Structure 1
Amino acid sequence: MNGKSIPAEYGCGVALKADLTSTDLAEIRQSALGAADPLGVAAELVSAVDAGRLSDPDDAGLALVLAAEIAESRSKLDAALRYVERALDAYDKRDDSPVAAARALRARILFRAGREDEAVAELEPLRPVLTQYPDAPAYVTVALAVGGRARLAEEWLTGAVEEVLAEREGPAPTSAEDAGLLFFLLQQRHRIRHTLGRSHDAHDVLAERLETKLANANARTAAEATDDLVFWPKAEFDQLVERWPALTETYGADWDEHRARLERELVRRSGPDLVLVPGTVAGLEAAGDPADPQTRASYVSNSTEHINWPPERNAPCWCGSGIKYKKCCLPRSRG
């Protein structure tokens, strides 16, 4: 499924497949709200738990939380509450992030149901997990925000940030990776303070700095990934490496290595609708500095030409050699 519409049987009265795996549940999470009958999906998940149709019985809590989230999204709060309470029973004595997330979900549902005192009582014991799990700042903050407790969320997050900073040795973090869990705390705190209209303080400045560096790093990674799908025909490749020799590190030392790299990358991705973008030296040069990954990414994204992959085994190879695919680039993926 991979984020696409959930198959019809998942919401039309037909039971989910037997032996649902963790991967199946993750895919259903991505697709359930787009199903024709999301509540039917939730009911089928509960049925799968009751009938023992989970590949791993320990996934019962996960399946029931998913059912609760679906029911909550459709304002079926009584059902959502039943499902999440069953999830907590299924988790039993576990004390980890999924359990804390389920308790935050229960609080969120209680807030929506107007049972505010119970919701706050559910969340209070979760305050310590803010400094234990990377995803805790998000699910605790969301629950408090749903209950109109944004100021309380700010207070808790500020305390957690200061606690982590007090325990941290050395200078302030210079990247999201370096910051670790602190980054997630700063990020959520910055967002909730923006909602409240707060003026920036030192923690907000640090949050913005780390978010900017993370965004730039992700952009560089995305730009570099596009290089994996640019194909340089033989004449263009020879001209490319003659003019910019450093690009052999990106595209290969020679044309054979270039084709082998592409074939291996395409096989690794191996999904439908994969295409290669044919490159030209003139086009790349017109886009800007060829040494800049952002220039190459822009060149690829603006290209209107493509080569479909894979060809049939007996069809001419995608590289334009004129040789059958099975005798040309197909074997290169095994190199």
Structure 2
Amino acid sequence: MSLKADLTSADLNEVRQSALGAADPLGVAADLAKAAGDGRLADPQDAGLALALAAEIAESRSKLDAALRYVEGALEAYGKRDDSPVASARALRSRILFRTGRGDEAFAEVEPLRPLLTQYPDAPAYITAALAVGGRAVEAEKWLTEAVDQVLAERGAAEPSDADDAGVLFFLLQQRHRLRHALGRQHDTHDNLAERLETRLANAAPVAAAPATDLVFWPEAEFNRLVKQTDAYGTTWAEHRSRLEHELVRQAAAGGTDLAVLPGSVDALTAQAGVGGDPASADNRAAYARKLSTGTARLPWPPERNGACWCGSTLKYKKCCLPRSRS
């Protein structure tokens, strides 16, 4: 993958979605770091984002020295910023330190982030991930439980009516519920509340049982080509994305993990059908979906609420596809 000059935030999001499937992901990480160092970013303030992404890629390939160097560069680039991306980078540094056996340093990095559990919707996920890597899942459960208790006490007795009403509480409950399931804990009242909220979210608009092909995602340009052949994926790109978001929420509520959409290509779908075949037929679409599901091109879901949406619109997830699950 060759990175272009003047990378935008949208470009970085596209790299995030495709880097692990690239022929040389570590080369992509090095290119990202160089782009940040050489000032080849459309917005210089994206240097921290680019370096943190490079660190994630290097960590995924167990190149921990490089990952640590990149994430420390990201924190330096962020400077005095005090927001969720900075906290996420600090949690990433903690995770990397845990992986290198530097547990005391790692804990010293993540422990000050604890108050953020009740402030940022994505904080429960990245803080828990760091502690879990360090073998401190029980401690993560304790932190999450105390954070849930704090938010519930601040709310008073009224139970949230849905995920929007719950706000950050929903993400705390969701992360805690999944962690306790992994730890083999029996359900308690917080787990029951987490399940009720997830069910309300999934049932906000009834969704018909969806075939596996509905996890195939057609980027806007591809969808505009495909819809001339079939409306099986929706009649508009907005409808297509809404269907996908509904299905992903449904699978998450049913206990699904490691969820992702599978980017499709009209040319590849056509090639799958072969000479004389019908690319839009149900059999061909199903076969193409099965082929995509065994590949490495995946867009993980869900993104952070304040992160770029998985559909590539460049909007924040909370302003783009997240609301589609309740439309």
Instruction: Provide TM-score, normalisation by structure 1.
Output: 0.64
Residue 184 (structure 1) aligns with: 171
1:276 deviates by 3.8
Residue 120 (structure 2) aligns with: 133
Partners of 1:222 and 1:88 in 2: how far apart?
44
Partners of 2:107 and 2:192 in 1: how far apart?
30
Q: Closer, same or farther in 2 for the Cα pair 1:157/1:90, shift >3 Å?
A: same
Partners of 2:81 and 2:172 in 1: how far apart?
24
4+ residue segments displaced more than 6 Å: none
1:69 deviates by 0.3
Residue 130 (structure 2) aligns with: 143
Is structure 2 residue 225 aligned with structure 1 residue 272?
yes
Identity rate of aligned residues, in percent? 71
**Structure 2, unpaired ranges of 5+:** 211-219, 233-246, 248-280, 285-327
RMSD value over aligned CA atoms?
Answer: 2.8
Partners of 2:161 and 2:66 in 1: how far apart?
45
1:277 deviates by 4.3
Is structure 2 residue 160 aligned with structure 1 residue 173?
yes
1:305 deviates by 10
Is structure 2 residue 39 aligned with structure 1 residue 86?
no
Moved more, 212-221 or 29-38: 212-221
Q: Closer, same or farther in 2 for the Cα pair 1:272/1:174, shift >3 Å?
A: same
Partners of 2:283 and 2:59 in 1: how far apart?
45
Is structure 2 residue 192 aligned with structure 1 residue 205?
yes
Q: 2:201 aligns with which of 214, 228, 235?
A: 214
Instruction: Provide TM-score, normalisation by structure 2.
Output: 0.66
**Structure 1, unpaired ranges of 5+:** 1-8, 11-15, 224-266, 279-293, 295-302, 307-335
1:166 deviates by 0.6
Aligned residues: 231
- Greater C-alpha radius of gyration: 1
Higher relative contact order (CA 8 A, sep 6+): 2
Contact 1:104 1:122 in 2 (8 A): yes
Contact 1:277 1:305 in 2 (8 A): no
1:268 deviates by 10
Residue 46 (structure 1) aligns with: 33
Amino acid at match of 1:56: D
Is structure 2 residue 149 aligned with structure 1 residue 162?
yes
Partners of 1:198 and 1:90 in 2: how far apart?
41
Partners of 1:27 and 1:35 in 2: how far apart?
12
- Secondary structure of the residue aligned to 1:271 is helix
